[in-house]
Amino acid sequence: MPKNLIQHFEWTTRNPQRLKAFFGQIFDWTFSEPMPGYTLIEGVGGIFEAPDPQMPIAVTPYVNVKDLSETEAKIAAAGGRIHKSKQEVPGMGAFTIFSDPDGNLVALWQAQRPAPKRARRPAKKKKPAKKRSRR
């Protein structure tokens, strides 16, 4: 099984409501809107409203990677072009968008690594209370 699986697909559009209505009539997808301009499709990906008229309308696969910097270096060496580098998604991870030599858009996804677990110190043993002598 490959390590760099496709995480999800993202549709970039100027009319997210139209795409949501279209796909909602065809597939049994569940939609939610976690933030303005983005519609999440549970288990599939999302619909992104293009904020810039120059942004291309496309479907972009997001591929899981361990290290964005390392993978970006490989892309550059292989003749790809980085469009957006290491864009943070707070609390979730970061992504990079690039194009292959034919101009196809592809994205990388690096999930946020969980904070390292702290080693638990053993609980201090309580000393037994001294017995008071009765006088």
Q: Which one, of 61, 96, 59, lies nearest residue 80 by Cα? A: 96
Residue 94 included in any domain: yes
Burial track 52-68 (b if 16+ CB lie within 10 A, e otherwise): eeeeeeeebebbbbeeb
Residue 90 included in any domain: yes
> How confident is residue 3, by pLDDT bands cut at 50, 70 and 90?
confident
Q: Cα(113)–Cα(120) distance, rounded to whole angstroms? A: 20
Domain harbouring 52, CATH code? 3.10.180.10
Residue 36 included in any domain: yes
Residue 119 included in any domain: no
Residue 128 included in any domain: no
Domain enclosing residue 85, as ranges: 6-111
Residue 121 included in any domain: no
Q: Average pLDDT over the chain, rounded to whole?
A: 88
Task: Give per-residue pLDDT as tens, 82-133.
Answer: 999 999 989 999 999 999 999 999 999 999 977 666 666 666 666 666 666 5
Question: What's residue 69's pLDDT?
Answer: 96
Residue 116 included in any domain: no
Residue 63 included in any domain: yes
pTM above 0.85, yes or no: no
> How confident is residue 12, by pLDDT bands cut at 50, 70 and 90?
very high
Question: What's residue 130's pLDDT?
Answer: 64
Number of domains, the chain: 1
Length of the chain measured in residues: 135
